Structure formats: structure tokens, C-alpha cells
Amino acid sequence: MKYLMFVAAILGCLRLSAQDGGPEWKNASKSSEAYAAYRGKLTVPPYGLAKVKALIDKTPYAEDDSSPLSNKDYMGLSLREKFTYHMIHAEISAQNCDVRPPIQDEEKKIFGQMADGFNESVWSDRQSKFMISNRDSVMALIKESTDRSKRMGANYKMAIVEINGREMIPYIIEVYNRDQKDRDLLTLLMLLMKNNEYKPFMASQSFRKLYGENADYQSYIDFNKGNEDLIIKRATDYYNTIGK
């Protein structure tokens, strides 16, 4: 039922987009499509997963299309189970009818913003407060789960931004260097520098291009060895300035 409601909402957005007109639609290449899917993939934590999924499946949609667990069910979860819940289910509906055309050559770009793993939903205040108030545990669970799955999904990267997990910079670099495939890990490093107002980064040409007044959600710099090395160096330099 939830899937059918989601499909109906998407079809409604597509009809509105077709009526309103917009950017010319051009299909992306197979490699670009594959990388787009890779960017948006979640990492699913194992902690109480079957229990959490069963609770989500029985939760009805509210009139505003939000779908939070009842307080009773939520408070009955352990900390690890709450982590799983937040990482696989964002409670607030955020339908966006601004249907964007596919990004061309996505695999050749480092974006200023990360892929959104939840698409039509966002974390509620309750969910954000849990992550921030338990940030040490959240960081530890992200590391534990990432090492197990060999993947830091879009949801984990979003959570690190949410809790300002700048202490994780060396680990983020370590994960990136394992296969140097997920360029959103480089984006994550830049967002941590940006959100903490690291001046050497904010004075850079990359910052102006990605986050300046003319930037948008799809602003990017080219993926190449020079940009890769520079982002990692700046993030390392920033990490060395913060109190451990």
C-alpha cells in the first residue's frame, strides 16, 4: 500500500512537470545511471532489523503523509534498534514535484551536495535529536556497520552531516581510499569543512563554485587526481586544527 501511494505521488509530479515544461530531458549513459544508483544506496544496519521492519510496516500514514512510530513502539526500542530505525526510515514526507532531468556523466563529477538516500522523506525532529544527543554512539555504530558491509551508504553520510561528525574525518578518508569509488565521501569532507567554516576551504575556488551565490544542488567540480588530493589534504589539515 505504501509503495502504491509513493508511485501515485511520483506520477502526479511527472504530470505536473510535463505540463509546466522545464529543462530538456536527456537520458544519461549507462555508466552515469549506475553511478547515480550507487550514490543513493543505503547501508542497512543489522541491529534488530526484522523487529524494526515489522514495526515500520504496521505504522499507518498520517494525514500529512508522515509515518512515525507510536511513542510506545519507539520507546520500546533499544539504542541500537533506534539507530537501525532512523537509518532505514525517515518519518516526515517531503514530496518534491521538481522533477530534475538525469545528470550527465555523473561518475566524472564531485558534487557540492550528497545524494539523498531517502528521496521523498526527511528525518523528523525526534530523529535528529536522537542522533545529536547520542552522537558518540551513532559514530561508533556507523563505523562498526560500515566495516562489516564495506560500504558507507547515503544514509550514513547524511547522519554524519546531521551530527557534525568531524571527528570521523580520518575514518572517512580511510573508507574512501579502500576503493576510491564513492565521490560523495569527498563531498562529505567538504560539507564538514563548510559547516564548520574552515577558512582556507571557504576562501578557495572550489568553495565558490560549489557553494557560492550561483551554486545549486547539482554544482560540481571535475573528478580528477588533483581535486581528489586537494580535498583530502584540506580535510586532513582541518582535522588537525580541531580538539580531539
Give the pLDDT score at 70.
94
Q: Is 96 exposed, middle or buried (0-12, 13-18, 19+ CB in 10 A)?
A: exposed
Answer yes or no: is 19 within a domain: no
**Among 199, 201, 195, CA closest to 232:** 201
Residue range of the domain that includes 65: 31-97+109-239
Answer yes or no: is 71 within a domain: yes
Residue 197, SS3? Answer: coil
Give the pLDDT score at 119.
81
Which pTM does this prediction carry?
A: 0.88
Cα(first)–Cα(last) distance of the chain, in Å?
48
**Among 26, 22, 16, CA closest to 97:** 16
Give the pLDDT score at 97.
58
Answer yes or no: is 15 within a domain: no
Rounded Cα–Cα distance for residues 204 and 70 (Å)? 47
- pLDDT < 50 regions, the chain: 1-20
Q: Is 111 exposed, middle or buried (0-12, 13-18, 19+ CB in 10 A)?
A: buried
Give the pLDDT score at 233.
99
Answer yes or no: is 136 within a domain: yes
Give the pLDDT score at 67.
85
Rounded Cα–Cα distance for residues 169 and 232 (Å)? 9
Other Cβ atoms within 10 Å of 16 Cβ, number: 13
Give the pLDDT score at 90.
95
Give the pLDDT score at 12.
44
Output the nine-digit C-alpha cell for 206: 572550489
Answer yes or no: is 167 within a domain: yes
Answer yes or no: is 244 within a domain: no
The count of structural domains within the chain is: 1
Output the nine-digit C-alpha cell for 21: 515544461
